[in-house]
Amino acid sequence: MIQLNVNKKNVTIDAEPEMPLLYALRDFLNLTGTKFGCGAGLCGACTVHMDGEAVRSCLMPLSAAVGKNITTIEGLSEKSDHPVQEAWLAHKVPQCGYCQSGQMMSAAALLATNAAPSDDEIDIHMQGNICRCGTYKRIKLAIKEAGKNIVREA
Amino acid sequence: MSHIENLSRRGFLKSVGVSGGVLVVGTAIPSMSFAYSESGTAGNVEHQLSVFVSIAEDGIVTLVNHRSEMGQGIRTSIPQIIAEELNANWDYINVVQAKADRKYGSQGTAGSGSIRRFFIHVRQLGAVVRDMLEQAAANIWQVNKSEVSAINHFVVHNKTGQKIAFGELAKHAAKLEIPAPENVKLKSINDFSLIGTDVKQVDLPTIIAGKMIYSHDVQLPDMLIASIERPPVVGGKVKSFDATAAKKVKGVVDVIQLKERSLPAGVFPKSGIAVVATNTWAAIEGRKKLKVVWVNGENQVHNSESYRDNLKKLVNKKGINVNNLGDVYQHDYDQSRTVEATYSVPYLHHAPMETPAATAVIKDGGCIIWAGSQNPQWGKGLVLEELGLSREQADKVEFNVVTMGGAFGRKSKGDYILEAVELAKVTSKPVKVIWSREDDIQHGFYHSVSANYCKAELTNDNSADNWIQRVALPPIGWLFNTDSKSPSDDDLSVGFADTPFKFNQMSMEKHEVSSHIRPGWMRSVSCINNSFALGSFVDELANKAKITTQQMWLNLLAEDRLVDPNSDTFKYTNYGVSLTEHPLDTARMKNVINLLADKANIDEKVSANEGWGISFFRSFNSYMAAATKVSVKNKKVTILEMHTAVDCGIVITPDRVKSQMEGAMTFGLAIALMGEITVKDGKIEQGNFHNYLIPRINQVPNMFVHIVKSNHAPGGIGEPGVPAIAPSIVNAIFHACGTRIRDLPVSKVLSI
């Protein structure tokens, strides 16, 4: 039995400690907003926050997630109204949408420490998140707008 | 908007078979059958006026989207067209996804065809219901229908201004007969108020919330998860396997050998060994412990590097005639004015972010399926066959069409769906088959490796003539017939034999080749290699003539005219539509090239090591020109800026045209710079995103899309943005540094 804190709730999962967090979230907690993309930490579709930091859940064993605060896309905001989500909506970023949970989680983690990232800083931080539909241009615009709104609200 | 989201949720539940069925008592009309009336669900009574349109008494209009969503936005655009003709208010529209059913007509979402092939038909879906609502109101007022008009969710009596809401009229309209669509007047294009505007996009809030359900996300009670080890070589079979260690993994329920399949490969599964488990991780871990010995079969002879070299040699020889004018072989070429070049493109793979997945459960001798599919009716037909059921027993298979996390052509094939059905049958449980990224990259249906050859002589007026072009590639036809050795006329109608230039003499030829891995349709298909060759070659001709590439395009396209590529030897298929509706119009071609050159400012003075490249391609009845600016420094290429200008006729949802163009620029950039699948001893050498590269955010420049305003019939938009991108990039590289790249990807020569 593994005890986790996911989206501010304590949960108990009957799984092996080496099971990656991704599969526990999806299969055991029915939090399917976090996606499988590569299983190798190469694409970022599975990005969640662990104590506020963006991590790839497909490589994160449950044993390493114990005692941490885990946030998934479902817990990023109460009403899907995190500044990142609002900017994503305003710029109509998604096409198929599959990678976008991971994109938004990576973006939210970036903006939490740097609300006004430069193009280069966005490039460096977001390089681990692949979008095959090709929404990068809008991702960049949306991150900048979300950053401005975070500064305004602060 | 909140009540609409709630309804969307209900619609989803309904579409996955949770709530009641639909009572069908309809009459058939040409090309599809309409159905009347459905039993009411909780809350407001819904009156189904046709297969596609239901209206509740509170005015909520539920529209069925029968095409498959994969990121192109069709779940917005199809309902938008219906709502336009219905004169409905978009704020009261609820969209539900159709299951696979022949009553909807074609559901094959491929060939960028949803709008361009069915525009009139989809408009009629709205128009017949508008007509019924108008008739119902006219009956109530006891006036002639011509005296009333549907306006923004009401029917209005023109003279008195009295009006009745759609919701109120629905129950009366539901009693009327559905008029024949040809008897119903469609709106004038000038009266469109929804088409051409960016209505609220269906699904966007759901995606932002992380709540969109894709195939991987389907969960059922007692469901098993399957991960499958497949033969690494096409046509390979299992010789023996040892499942002892796999079965010891906690959560693994069984290890099952799938039934053997033979060639032609079709779109059937590849067979193999499945590990089924109670959770995803157990299935993956169990599979790692499988020991399988394969018999690889004859396709293990395949090595893509030598195969590609051979294609290039082949196209340097005279081939089989496809289309010709005069006899170029009698012409005495002036070498100082002649350009000759061979281009090649490697195997490529779709790699949608969501790998294939499907869920099936056997029920009452039939089954229920949940899967993303570009062609759900084809998939359903395969499932019926798999279960030994006839077409007449179609109701025994319920195929729920799930939103796809990208597809690009991959998910037209039903192989992964049949895998789920096969395993559900063996286990008597719901089974979800999930593909790993390695499975996706190594067991795909690949864009064929190809070689194209071009030769032409400059004319005195800086055009070119005595044109020879040849192509060699393993044809998609081989999937279904192993005797197929060369592209069909249909395969050659995608920017090869329809080259729209004005020649006095030309010869277009193809070659025959052997096939060894499964070919497939990938976003714009052979337009990729045909456009790469043509767009590069025009740039090479321009360079030889010492004129701009833009001017060379204009010279080759010559005067305004409609081109007809048909001849005694070649039947042009024009992407499945008539030349009358969708001609090859050189005036539109030149217009889009000139617009691009102007908007992108390609004649600007650039720094040393920088250059612009352009190209043009007509495909899927749309016209698209691309411009790319690059810098090349220390053998490293950086893409600085990209533009596309597109004339796709009438635009339905402008922002989704723009997003498709942005996506196509990225997709084309991947093809140009980094995309390559290689095969050694019959096995795909790549496995994940570390060696099958997809552009990342730092590799994609600022992008601009310029849309031509047009009242022409709508063309396609999902694919036409792709073909011109790769040649625009290699041309830019040439203008930046003088290096001409004729074999893709660029990463073989320059770092990226």
Q: Where are the domains of chain B?
A: 2-207, 222-298+351-442, 304-349+445-748
Just give the CATH number of B304-349+445-748: 3.30.365.10
Residues in chain B closer than 8 A to A96 (CB atoms): 69-71, 352-354, 403-407
- Rounded CA-CA distance B264/B435 in Å is 23
Q: Which residues of chain B have pLDDT under 70?
A: 1-44
| B222-298+351-442 has the same fold as B2-207 | yes
The pLDDT, as a whole number, for residue B328 is 98
Residues in chain A closer than 8 A to B72 (CB atoms): 95
Domain B2-207 listed as CATH 3.30.365.10: yes
The pLDDT, as a whole number, for residue B44 is 63
Asked if omega into B745 is within 30° of 0 (cis), the reply is yes
B234 touches chain A (CB under 8 A): no
B220 touches chain A (CB under 8 A): no
Question: The CATH number of B222-298+351-442 is which of 3.30.470.10, 3.90.1280.10, 3.30.365.10, 3.40.50.1970?
Answer: 3.30.365.10
- Rounded CA-CA distance B265/B135 in Å is 53
Taking residue B680's Cβ as centre, other Cβ atoms within 10 Å add up to 12
Residue A153 pLDDT class (50, 70, 90 cuts): confident
A108-112 long-range contacts, CB within 8 A, separation 24+ = A108/A49, A108/A76, A108/A82, A108/A84, A109/A49, A109/A52, A109/A53, A109/A54, A110/A54, A110/A143, A111/A83, A111/A84, A111/A143, A111/A146, A111/A147, A111/A150, A112/A52
- The proportion of chain A whose per-residue pLDDT surpasses 90, expressed as a percent, equals 97
SS3 B566: coil
Residues in chain B closer than 8 A to A135 (CB atoms): 659, 662-663
* Chain centroid, CA B59 distance in Å: 34
A52 and A109 Cβ atoms separated by less than 8 Å: yes
The answer for B 129-188 residues in CB contact with A (under 8 A) is none
Residues in chain B closer than 8 A to A39 (CB atoms): 284, 436-437, 688
Contact (CB<8Å) A97/B209? no
- Rounded CA-CA distance B223/B218 in Å is 10
What is the count of residue pairs from A and B with beta carbons less than 8 Å apart? 174
Residue B429 DSSP code:
S
Residue of chain A minimizing CA distance to B356: A37
Q: pLDDT tens, A77-133?
A: 999 999 999 999 999 999 999 999 999 999 999 999 999 999 999 999 999 999 999
Domains (range + CATH), chain A: 2-75 (3.10.20.30), 83-153 (1.10.150.120)
Residues in chain A closer than 8 A to B434 (CB atoms): 36
φ/ψ of B53, rounded to 5, equals -130, 125
Residue of chain B minimizing CA distance to A27: B279
B679 and B517 Cβ atoms separated by less than 8 Å: yes
Distances, alpha carbon B146 to alpha carbons A92, B132, B210, B277, B547, in Å: 41, 12, 48, 64, 60
The answer for B 634-673 residues in CB contact with A (under 8 A) is 655, 659-660, 662-667
User: Which strands form B366-371's sheet, in the order they lie side by side?
Assistant: B252-257, B273-277, B224-229, B431-434, B357-363, B366-371, B397-401
Instruction: Please give the structure tokens belonging to residue B682.
Output: 């019959």
In angstroms, the separation between the Cα of residue B94 and the nearest Cα of chain A is 19
Residues in chain B closer than 8 A to A119 (CB atoms): none
DSSP string, chain A: -EEEEETTEEEEE-S-TTSBHHHIIIIIS--TTS--S-SSSSS-TTEEEETTEEEETTS-BHHHHTTSEEE-GGGS-SSS-SHHHHHHHHTT--SS-TTHHHHHHHHHHHHHH-SS--HHHHHHHHTT---SS--HHHHHHHHHHHHHHHHHH-
Predicted interface score ipTM higher than 0.85: yes
